[in-house]
Amino acid sequence: MADTDAPLIEHLIELRGRLLRALAGFFVVLLCLLPFAAKLYGWLAQPLTSLLPAGQSIIATNPAGAFFAPLKLAMFCALFISMPWLLYQTWAFVAPALYAREKRLALPLLASAVALFYAGCAFAFLLVLPAVFHFLTSFGADVIAVTPDAGAYLDFVLALFLAFGLSFELPVAMVILVLLGWVSPAQLKEARGYAVVGIFVIAAIVTPPDVISQLMLAIPMCLLYELGIHASRWLLPKPQARDAAG
């Protein structure tokens, strides 16, 4: 009984160590960012504040809003920056149990997932947010002053980051489904028409109610769908790839 319990105890000790290292890395980044929380919020608010009329700015509708909004942003940025370290700790714990081929596939997929999530957030910040806020501020009535709340603005932007970051994971999800044998590249290719319709429906749901942001999510997702088809065909073992192509 003691011999069977020993490996479990060793795994639990290893898991605890990896969790502590992951949390330590996150809190180190957070402590480094806290002094710059207000500047980070100003940088994040720039796509909106640059479009506001002179004399108007983001406000806090409750006394604690001006404090908690930058703090929440600092925590999100710390998680965003430390994500490779957190994933590395997860990988280091799981990798010993994987076969050699699984390791060769898992590591590139993990790196691709992180890179695509970052790319989706950058795309949302650099291109989508300015377009969305330009649309929203351009169609407001003259008698209505645009005074967005600090917390509501942050929640809106973070939700948009999450939507674009996860949407950009589409090729990774497709490759995983193909590697698990649930679908084939040929089936993904045949379902392209249905996928495009589904992508536009998803874009209409997760983006603000304007055509520009919907197109700015749907078009990259359509391109990423094509990338997923080619990547899944390339990563399949050669006999399976020939069968899928045929």
In tens, the pLDDT along 116-154 reads 999 999 999 999 988 888 877 776 555 556 677 888 889
Tell me, yes or no, if the pTM score tops 0.75: yes
- Within a domain: residue 3? no
How many domains are contained in the chain? 2
CA 115 centroid distance within chain = 9
Q: Are residues 135 and 173 in the same domain?
A: yes
- Does residue 213 share a domain with residue 182? yes
167-185, pLDDT tens digit by residue?
999 999 999 889 888 999 9
Any domain includes 53: no
Average pLDDT score over the chain = 84
The pLDDT, as a whole number, for residue 96 is 80
* Domain identity same for 114 and 199: yes
User: Is the domain of 122 the same as that of 177?
Assistant: yes
Looking at the structure, do residues 112 and 92 belong to the same domain, yes or no?
no
> Based on the domain organization, do 41 and 137 belong to the same domain?
no
Instruction: Supply the range of the domain harboring residue 92.
Output: 8-48+60-100
pLDDT tens-digit series, residues 60-117: 777 777 788 899 999 999 999 999 999 889 888 888 877 777 778 888 888 899 999 9
In a domain, 173, yes or no: yes
Are the C-beta atoms of residues 163 and 80 closer than 8 Å to each other?
no
Of 75, 55, 72, which is closest to residue 64 (Cα–Cα)?
A: 72
- Rounded to 5°, angle at Cα 34 from 33 and 37: 90
Alpha-carbon gap, residue 120 to 150, rounded angstroms: 23
Paired tokens of 72: 């929440």
Query: What is the C-alpha to C-alpha distance for residues 22 and 38, in angstroms, rounded to an integer?
Result: 25
- The identity of residue 115, as a single letter, is A
Q: Supply 181's token pair.
A: 């044998």
Q: Is 127 helix (H, G, I), strand (E, B) or coil?
A: helix
Locate 229 and state its tokens: 């088809």
Residue 73 in any domain: the answer is yes
Instruction: Kindly state whether residue 55 falls inside one of the protein's structural domains.
Output: no
Is 37 a domain residue?
yes
Considering the domain architecture, whether residues 117 and 216 belong to the same structural domain is answered as yes
pLDDT value at position 5?
Answer: 55
The residue type found at 197 is V
Residue 219, pLDDT above cutoff 80: yes
